[in-house]
């Protein structure tokens, strides 16, 4: 399995680690919030030195009930962050976490961003698919119902896995029809799902391989860990590492994380297991 990233065919052996860079004042994990030039620069250097293959930059917190941020403010934050990022790591592979097509366009054309990561899979901006097709960059389609402000009101499913798989079948078909060649899928842990539903999806994660597309897993320090372990986001690294390893055994190709070093080590151990009898 390969994906065209910045003109080069990239495979997912070993699985990729995507390091999170939040240019936001209100992300759910306080330790991930980077506001000043110094904080952003230090975080970029850390992500690169610890071995992440991708840096995922967000200017709009998508935590449950997050405050609405307009397009001007989102782009202002991203511009500030991307300028620092590419100054510190000019060759970095960068994805931008946005559901707005104009923001996506400006980040790719003005800064050379390589991947678009859309929590709404086009549902919040009807021009997203055609825009990404023109940009010819990989596109991460995530499962969510509603918006960050309303998503936890939409956790009722008659058949959880069937509905999510059908959702991706439709989205992937529409993306390919629009001319998007490289589609990655993200089940959206924590988005429009209860803790029990998150674990049901994780237990059946291999079913998403039916699409033959790169599969991203992102549950770093999320509520699904904190509720089970009765702990805080700051104390959820161990739980995150455990779930990362489980996701790898289920065939995840990309881990989206706050803690890059630990995720990279987890991938290394997973590869050692995979290669043990070869």
d(CA 82, CA 147) in angstroms, rounded, equals 25
Among all residues, which ones are annotated catalytic? Answer: 222, 256
Cis amide prior to 37 (ω within 30 degrees): no
Where b means 16+ CB within 10 Å and e means fewer, 173-205 reads eebeebebebbbbbbbbbbbbbbebbbebbeeb
Cα separation of 60 and 107, whole Å?
14
Residues 6+ apart with CB under 8 A from 239: 221, 225, 226, 228, 229, 231
* Both structure tokens of 108: 């790719």
8 Å CB contact between 24 and 33: yes
């Amino acid at each position: 399995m390969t994906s065209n990233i910045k003109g080069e065919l990239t495979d997912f052996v070993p699985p990729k680690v995507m390091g999170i860079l939040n240019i936001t004042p209100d992300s759910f994990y306080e330790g991930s919030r980077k506001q000043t030039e110094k904080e952003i620069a230090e975080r970029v250097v850390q992500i690169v030195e610890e071995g992440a293959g991708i840096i995922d930059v967000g200017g709009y917190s998508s935590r449950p009930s997050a405050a609405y941020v307009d397009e001007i403010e989102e782009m202002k934050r991203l511009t500030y962050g991307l300028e620092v990022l590419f100054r510190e790591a000019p060759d970095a592979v960068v994805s931008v976490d946005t559901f707005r097509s104009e923001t996506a366009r400006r980040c790719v054309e003005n800064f050379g961003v390589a991947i678009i990561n859309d929590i709404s899979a086009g549902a919040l901006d009807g021009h997203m698919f055609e825009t990404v097709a023109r940009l010819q960059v990989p596109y991460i389609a995530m499962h969510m119902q509603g918006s960050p402000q309303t998503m936890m009101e939409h956790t009722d499913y008659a058949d959880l896995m069937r509905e999510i798989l059908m959702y991706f079948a439709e989205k992937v078909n529409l993306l390919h029809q629009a001319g998007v060649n490289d589609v990655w899928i993200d089940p959206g842990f924590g988005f429009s799902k209860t803790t029990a539903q998150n674990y049901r999806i994780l237990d059946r994660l291999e079913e998403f391989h039916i699409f033959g597309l790169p599969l991203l897993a992102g549950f770093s320090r999320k509520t699904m860990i904190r509720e089970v372990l009765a702990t805080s986001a700051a104390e959820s690294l161990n739980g995150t590492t455990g779930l990362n390893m489980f996701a790898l055994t289920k065939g995840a190709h990309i881990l989206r994380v706050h803690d890059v070093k630990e995720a990279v080590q987890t991938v290394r151990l997973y590869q050692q297991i995979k290669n043990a009898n070869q």
